[in-house]
Amino acid sequence: MECFRRNCMNEYHTRHSFLGFVFLFLFISIANAEQAGIQPRIVGGEPADNNEWPATVALLKKATVDLVESGVATDANGNLIPVAQANRVAQFCGGSLISSKWVLTAAHCMFPNGTLLSATDLLALTGTSNLLQGGERMVVSNIYIHPNFNSETKDSDIALLELAGDAPAPAQPISLFPGAPGDGADATVVGWGARNFDNSDPLNPIIDDFPQQLHEVIVPVVDSPDCKIAYPGLITDNMICAGYLEGSKDACQGDSGGPLMIGQGSSAQQIGIVSFGKGCALPEVYGVYTRVEKFAEWIASLTSGSVINQPPVADFIARCNSAGKGCNVVGAFGVYQFTATGSHDPDGQIVSYHWDFGDGATEASRFPNASHRYLAAGNYIVTLTVTDNNGLTSSVSQTIVMIEFVPPHFDSSVIDIVTVNDLTIEVDTKTEGSLGNSDVCSDAARCVATM
């Protein structure tokens, strides 16, 4: 079954109601898992260092926090749940801080029972990697679900939570990656979700192992065609997949809404949101994530520019100025046209294009196109740097090749005269290095050509 990574069960709090039972029978669970061939799963990751991922947010159900902290909450065996366990018991989804008061998460996390939660049902725990210590519980003032979210198709699985105040340090917002990473790029997914999961029985809560410490796992980005094979008819352009063909490493239940990132620590950028998958870490299927770059405009429209400014994306095409031969020949044509209309800024606009043509010449303009004539043969590294309206820059380079122009060899010894299309042409049939018969002559009346 394909299920959202919040939970495969009917109610998200079901796993919490069994938490004490899980603790009590953990050694039995591990033994059963080994016998059943179920691998410990984030799934397949390891504990993250404290504050290694400072943008990560744990979403808590406020009613559960209040109940545990009242001192009367009990587990399945009737044992009192310690007050210190309140965050751990109440955590049901993840999120990421994208500005001091905005949290990005999965839309499906807001519908635990098919009914939209209210902001007063939630707390956002920021600034900690450990659910049992540290951090700041933030009040949520508003919930925004993407208007195209579809719980059946799982498309547009994205939501924004507005906090009532600014999240204090050590919490630190993460920037959103502008564009899509290359296939095979290493990405990191983090969360407090299940480290063990019974793929043969998704409703079995005993096998689940939910950590107090944030966990991380590295998974490669998977190209769309491969992911579409794993999930026929489900994958859209708003999704990105990550994982291993052989399985073993993946996000799992309870990780929903958390970030998929490239880069490390404070330099990390978010590319996805944990959304859904078939089981956890199964072979030949992958984890599916909401592709955040597809929703940059929607995010900006709600956050009113409070989200960290995204850098622009530089891109250009280099073309000779002639479709004929010799367009990269010094002395004949020697002019290249550069087109940067593919450059863009996900949350603003590009205000300048700076060209370094690789031969010491440069050009700056607010327009995306440029041209340059090269005067000597050689390899030239052309670099475009674009700057957005908030001062961020991005660069990209390409190498072009210019070759020396070799003029045709003319010989005064004319062997024959031929007439082509009523044009008399003197033809040298012996001289090597003369123009080929497909070349255009500069003097159409006297063209020495090799026949």
Q: Is 347 a catalytic residue?
A: no
Tokens of 51: 């504050």
Distance between CA atoms of residues 384 and 355, nearest Å:
5
Q: Are 394 and 312 in contact (CB under 8 A)?
A: yes
Residue of 99, 129, 175, 256 with catalytic role: 256
Tell which residue, 193, 189, 167, has the closest CA to residue 93: 193
Tell which residue, 177, 289, 301, has the closest CA to residue 231: 289
DSSP 81: P
Distance between CA atoms of residues 218 and 190, nearest Å:
9
Residue by residue, DSSP assigns 260-323 as: EEES-GGG-EEEEEEEEEETTT-TT--EEEEEGGGGHHHHHHHHTT-SPPPPPB---EEEES-S
Note the Cα 316 to chain centre separation in Å.
Answer: 21
Distance between CA atoms of residues 150 and 142, nearest Å:
20
Distance between CA atoms of residues 97 and 358, nearest Å:
41
Q: Is 256 a catalytic residue?
A: yes
Distance between CA atoms of residues 199 and 187, nearest Å:
24
Q: Helix (H, G, I), strand (E, B), or coil: what is residue 344? A: strand
Q: Are 137 and 253 in contact (CB under 8 A)?
A: no
Distance between CA atoms of residues 79 and 81, nearest Å:
6
Residue of 108, 146, 215, 372 with catalytic role: 108
Distance between CA atoms of residues 274 and 288, nearest Å:
7
Tokens of 240: 């990105």
Name residue 22's amino acid.
V
Residue of 96, 100, 155, 157 with catalytic role: 157
Name residue 128's amino acid.
T
Q: Are 417 and 447 in contact (CB under 8 A)?
A: no
Q: Is 146 a catalytic residue?
A: no
The set of long-range contacts for 412-419, using a CB threshold of 8 Å and a minimum separation of 24, is 414/448, 418/451
User: For residue 170, is the peptide bond before it cis, meaning its omega torsion is within 30 degrees of 0?
Assistant: yes
- Taken in order 208, 214, 217, 219, the sign of the CA dihedral is positive
Strand order in the sheet with 317-320: 317-320, 335-339, 369-373
Residue by residue, DSSP assigns 57-75 as: EEEEEHHHHHHHHTT--B-
- Which sequence positions are flagged as catalytic? 108, 157, 256
